[in-house]
Amino acid sequence: MSNAERRRLWRDICVFDGLCTLPEPMAVITEGDRVASLVAMRDFDEASAQGCQEMGRGGVMTPGLVDCHTHLVFGGSRADEFEARLEGVSYEEIARRGGGILSTVTATREASEEALFAAARPRLEALIADGVTTVEIKSGYGLTVEDELKMLRVARRLGEALPVRVVTTLLGAHALPPEYRDDSDGYIRLVCEEMIPAAAAEGLADAVDVFCEKIAFSVAQCQRVFEAAMAHGLPIKAHAEQLSNLGGTAMAARHGALSADHIEYLDEAGIAAMREAGSVAVILPGAFHILRETQLPPIAALREAGVPMAVATDANPGSSPLFMPTLMLNLACTLFRLTPQEALVGMTAHGATALGFKGEGRIQEDATADLCVWDVDTPAALAYAVQPGRLRQRLFQGELTHVV
Question: Contact residues for ligand NIG (CB under 6 A)?
Answer: 71, 100-101, 104, 211, 239, 242, 287, 314, 316-320
Give the number of residues in contact with Fe ion, rule: CB under 5 A: 1
Q: Which is nearer to ligand NIG, 16 or 141 (CB)?
A: 141
Q: How far apart are CA 42 and CA 51, in angstroms?
A: 20
Q: Which is nearer to Fe ion, 29 or 260 (CB)?
A: 260
Amino acid identity of residue 366, one-letter, is D
Radius of gyration of the chain (CA): 21
Give the Å distances, CA to CA, from 248 to 209, 262, 300, 318. 12, 12, 20, 22
Q: How far is CA 163 from the centre of its chain?
A: 16
**Binding partner of 104, given ligand NIG, Fe ion, none, CB within 5-8 angstroms per partner class:** ligand NIG
**Binding partner of 242, given ligand NIG, Fe ion, none, CB within 5-8 angstroms per partner class:** ligand NIG
Minimum distance between the CB of residue 381 and ligand NIG, rounded to whole angstroms?
28
Q: How far apart are CA 403 and CA 400, in angstroms?
A: 7
Minimum distance between the CB of residue 339 and ligand NIG, rounded to whole angstroms?
24
Q: Which is nearer to Fe ion, 320 or 393 (CB)?
A: 320
Q: How far apart are CA 54 and CA 144, in angstroms?
A: 52
- A 10 A CB-CB count for 366 gives 9
Minimum distance between the CB of residue 158 and ligand NIG, rounded to whole angstroms?
18
What 3 state SS string does 346-366 have?
A: HCCHHHHHHCCCCCCCCCCCC
Minimum distance between the CB of residue 115 and ligand NIG, rounded to whole angstroms?
18
Minimum distance between the CB of residue 125 and ligand NIG, rounded to whole angstroms?
21
Segment holding 80, helix H or strand E: helix 79-86
**Backbone phi, then psi, for 361, in 5-degree steps?**
70, 30
Minimum distance between the CB of residue 57 and ligand NIG, rounded to whole angstroms?
41
The DSSP call for residue 347 is T
**Binding partner of 38, given Fe ion, ligand NIG, none, CB within 5-8 angstroms per partner class:** none
**Angle between helix 145-161 and helix 113-129 axes, rounded to 10 deg:** 40
**Binding partner of 319, given ligand NIG, Fe ion, none, CB within 5-8 angstroms per partner class:** ligand NIG
Minimum distance between the CB of residue 300 and ligand NIG, rounded to whole angstroms?
23
Q: Which is nearer to ligand NIG, 72 or 395 (CB)?
A: 72
Give the Å distances, CA to CA, from 268 to 32, 281, 305. 46, 13, 10
**Binding partner of 317, given ligand NIG, Fe ion, none, CB within 5-8 angstroms per partner class:** ligand NIG
Q: Which is nearer to ligand NIG, 39 or 84 (CB)?
A: 84
Give the Å distances, CA to CA, from 298 to 70, 210, 262, 283, 335. 22, 21, 11, 10, 12
Among residue numbers 286 through 345, which ones bind Fe ion (CB under 5 A)?
Answer: 314
Minimum distance between the CB of residue 143 and ligand NIG, rounded to whole angstroms?
12
184 contact partners, CB below 8 Å, separation of at least 6: 176, 217, 221
**Binding partner of 330, given ligand NIG, Fe ion, none, CB within 5-8 angstroms per partner class:** none
Q: Which is nearer to ligand NIG, 132 or 363 (CB)?
A: 132
**Binding partner of 123, given ligand NIG, Fe ion, none, CB within 5-8 angstroms per partner class:** none
Q: Which is nearer to Fe ion, 212 or 367 (CB)?
A: 212
Residue whose Cβ sits closest to ligand NIG: 318
Which residues share a beta bridge with 9? Answer: 29, 54
Q: Which is nearer to ligand NIG, 35 or 143 (CB)?
A: 143
**Binding partner of 313, given Fe ion, ligand NIG, none, CB within 5-8 angstroms per partner class:** none
Which residues share a beta bridge with 400? Answer: 395
Q: How far apart are CA 109 and CA 99, in angstroms?
A: 15
Minimum distance between the CB of residue 364 and ligand NIG, rounded to whole angstroms?
32
**Binding partner of 235, given Fe ion, ligand NIG, none, CB within 5-8 angstroms per partner class:** none
Which residues share a beta bridge with 53? Answer: 8
Q: Which is nearer to ligand NIG, 102 or 299 (CB)?
A: 102
Q: How far apart are CA 260 and CA 147, in angstroms?
A: 25
Q: Is the dihedral of CA 389, 154, 120, 71 positive or negative?
A: negative
Residues near Fe ion (CB under 5 A): 314
